[in-house]
Amino acid sequence: MKISLLSDAPKHNLALMKISAWHKADGDKVTLNMPLFKADYTYASVLYGRNTKRFIADEYGGPAFDNSCLSGDVERMQPDYSLYPLDFSIGYTFRPCFNSCGICKVPKMNHPDVRHHSIFEFHNPKFKKICLLNNNTFQDQQWKETFREIWHADLSVIDENGYDIRLLDDEKADALHRTKWATPLHFAWDRMVDEPLVIEGLNLISNGVYVLIGYDTTPEEDLHRCQIINNYGLTPYPMPYIKNSYTKRFKRFINLHFYRQYKTIEKAWREYS
């Protein structure tokens, strides 16, 4: 059979990598993002809701569709790493996040399971880097096993989703410090209600912190969060939920580090505005 795989994912698509591996195991020919390819069967995995009508396929899935989930036999396949020009392994050791943040679709998604998985279910030993797609690693009761496996395999970690600063403690912070990172380590401060837990976590890290703006906080609250992060000697990185004149201007203001010339970020913002 000739199989066509279509996706709007900008970098990689794990579901399609597993579908590809499953079909190639049966001797099928697989192509990626070649919409004019005359295939016997076509899959479309769609990340963004605005693209749900972009593709013509026999089967649709991905975060843009409710209750989307691979079948068990496909889910258990090791990804086809020839599908994308990657130099790292990619997969999950823990799928869910049990938080109920209004901005996030993860708690509403149909996860294959809520169990812990070994990195060796998807890691290819030819790679020295690994990308964990976990939505909240520290909610996994077996999170230590994930780090031990990474250390044992001497891997560097690509951080795409970040870590929940609200769950950070000395033991978790030590594990993060012991780990080799191929990309900067990410944390985020999205909600004002989390301020006490975030501040506890700020005492344990030496990285920048993403600050969600343009969702449910005021400009004053955005300045407040950035100021606290700055007070701990860390760098705030505004992350707009929507792009408008304010969020684009505020992000540019912080990223230019204009505020470092002033005693407070609030005063710098007044001058900048």
Q: 204 and 224 in one domain? A: yes
Q: 256 and 237 in one domain? A: yes
| Digit-coded pLDDT (tens) for 128-138 | 999 999 999 99
Q: Check residue 85 and give its pLDDT.
A: 96
- Residue range 140-160: mean pLDDT, rounded: 97
| Residue ending a domain, choose from 71, 95, 111 | 71
Asked if residue 197 is part of any domain, the answer here is yes
- pLDDT(107) > 70: no
Q: 99 and 56 in one domain? A: no
Q: 153 and 107 in one domain? A: yes
- pLDDT(28) > 80: yes
Asked if residue 78 is part of any domain, the answer here is no
User: pLDDT-based confidence at 112, cuts 50/70/90?
Assistant: confident
**Single pTM value for the model:** 0.86
- pLDDT(109) > 80: no
Asked if residue 81 is part of any domain, the answer here is no
User: pLDDT-based confidence at 82, cuts 50/70/90?
Assistant: very high
| Digit-coded pLDDT (tens) for 210-264 | 999 999 999 999 999 999 999 999 999 999 999 999 999 999 999 999 899 999 9
| Tally: H helices and E strands in the chain | 8, 11
Interatomic CA distance for residues 52 and 65, integer angstroms: 8
Q: 166 and 105 in one domain? A: yes
User: pLDDT-based confidence at 108, cuts 50/70/90?
Assistant: low
| Largest separation between any pair of C-alpha atoms in the chain | 66
| Digit-coded pLDDT (tens) for 162-194 | 899 999 999 999 999 999 999 999 899 999 999
Interatomic CA distance for residues 255 and 165, integer angstroms: 22
